[in-house]
């Protein structure tokens, strides 16, 4: 099946309940589709051929437990963070072009102070511009405060859920509720999907890809995989590079060997996957049993 995590999720769930083995396939190759055309029978034939050839062996996520709950909360949190940032940027852009006395009165370096002043704003004047400015600034400030309260609620729910369903992961240095939830969500509720740590690394886009040519032997960053999970690994690596003695010693040793910061970061993400893989499996297995 194609799209087992989106529009095909319902059908995949029904088939699994009926004991039918479900494999997930990737979307057809665009160049091949341009040559052969597109139709439902053609897509079905290509899907069957990819399974028979052994190219499609991925087991879809079951979407039935704690991992799916974390994914749902993370989606809402990311959109709230984006909207909150957009709101304060809009508010500040309006203040930049506002009359000087209003700008000097309301512009603050800290977002909380700026929003607090705009939320308590009273009528600035009797002209159409000042009335509109008052209403707009007050509404944007209230929107920011609402999103801030929503984020606190989502963070509290995510913290409780990760402490309950991913305790081994949360005990590791540099891993907070958001990064733990992202890694658990990308792994899924059925741990049998992850056959090895290399599979998890590929799923997170943290496996180094060969980019050798001739006598030059090198690897490059993988720009595929789940980018949210890759960002979570990047965050964990950054925290450890700054604060963990073991990682700081590794960075110093690799820097002395002539490696760049990007190469060190790539290696660290792969090592973090190797460290966290058994912990993710243990947490998923415990969550499935409970």
The answer, yes or no, to whether residue 6 has pLDDT greater than 80, is no
The answer, yes or no, to whether residue 252 has pLDDT greater than 70, is yes
The tens digit of pLDDT for each residue in 164-178 reads 999 999 999 999 999
- pLDDT number for residue 221: 74
H-helix or E-strand spanning residue 210: strand 209-210
- 21-30, 126-135, 145-154, 253-262 — most confident range: 145-154
Report if pTM > 0.85.
Answer: no
The answer, yes or no, to whether residue 22 has pLDDT greater than 90, is no
List the one residue out of 73, 244, 54 whose CA is nearest residue 156: 73
Distance, CA of 223 to CA of 201 (rounded, Å): 12
- pLDDT number for residue 13: 80
Exposed (0-12), middle (13-18) or buried (19+): which is 256, by Cβ within 10 Å?
exposed
Hey, how many other C-beta atoms are within 10 angstroms of the C-beta on 5?
14
Compute the Cα dihedral for 89, 94, 98, 104 and give only its sign. Answer: negative
Hey, how many other C-beta atoms are within 10 angstroms of the C-beta on 151?
16
Distance, CA of 56 to CA of 117 (rounded, Å): 57
Contact 183, 123 (CB under 8 A): no
List the one residue out of 235, 222, 190 whose CA is nearest residue 21: 190
- In sequence order, what are the residues at sequence separation of 6 or more whose Cβ sits closer than 8 angstroms to the Cβ of residue 282? 168
- The DSSP secondary structure of 77-135, one letter per residue, reads HHHHHHHHHHHHHHHHHHHHTS-HHHHHHH--SSHHHHHHHHHT-----SSHHHHHHHH
Distance, CA of 141 to CA of 147 (rounded, Å): 10
Tokens linked to 99: 């009359």
Look over the chain and give the mean of its residue pLDDT values, rounded to a whole number. Answer: 86
- pLDDT number for residue 141: 94
> For the residues 102-119, what does the mean pLDDT come to?
89
- pLDDT number for residue 89: 94
- pLDDT number for residue 289: 63
The tens digit of pLDDT for each residue in 59-110 reads 777 777 888 899 999 999 999 999 999 999 999 999 998 888 888 888 888 9
């Amino acid at each position: 099946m194609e799209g087992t995590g989106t529009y095909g999720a319902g059908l995949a769930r029904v088939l699994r309940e009926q004991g039918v083995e479900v494999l997930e396939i990737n979307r057809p190759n665009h160049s091949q589709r341009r040559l052969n055309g597109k139709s439902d029978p053609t897509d079905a034939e290509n899907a069957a051929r990819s399974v028979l050839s052994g190219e499609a062996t991925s087991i879809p996520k079951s979407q039935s437990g704690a991992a799916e709950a974390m994914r749902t909360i993370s989606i809402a949190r990311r959109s709230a963070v984006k909207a909150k940032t957009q709101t304060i940027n809009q508010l500040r852009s309006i203040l930049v072009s506002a009359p000087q006395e209003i700008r000097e009165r309301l512009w603050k370096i800290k977002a909380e102070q700026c929003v607090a002043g705009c939320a308590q704003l009273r009528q600035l004047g009797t002209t159409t511009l000042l009335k509109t400015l008052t209403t707009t600034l007050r509404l944007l400030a209230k929107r920011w405060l609402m999103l801030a309260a929503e984020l606190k609620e989502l963070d509290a729910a995510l913290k409780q859920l990760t402490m309950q369903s991913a305790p081994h992961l949360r005990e590791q240095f540099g891993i907070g509720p958001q990064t733990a939830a992202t890694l658990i969500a990308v792994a899924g509720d059925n741990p049998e999907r992850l056959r090895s740590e290399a599979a998890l690394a590929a799923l997170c886009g943290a496996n180094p890809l060969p980019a050798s040519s001739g006598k030059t032997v090198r690897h490059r960053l993988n720009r595929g995989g789940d980018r949210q999970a890759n960002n979570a690994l990047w965050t964990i690596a950054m925290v450890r590079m700054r604060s963990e003695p073991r990682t700081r010693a590794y960075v110093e040793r690799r820097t002395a060997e002539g490696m760049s910061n990007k190469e060190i970061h790539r290696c660290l993400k792969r090592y973090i996957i190797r460290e966290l893989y058994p912990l993710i499996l243990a947490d998923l297995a415990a969550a499935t049993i409970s």
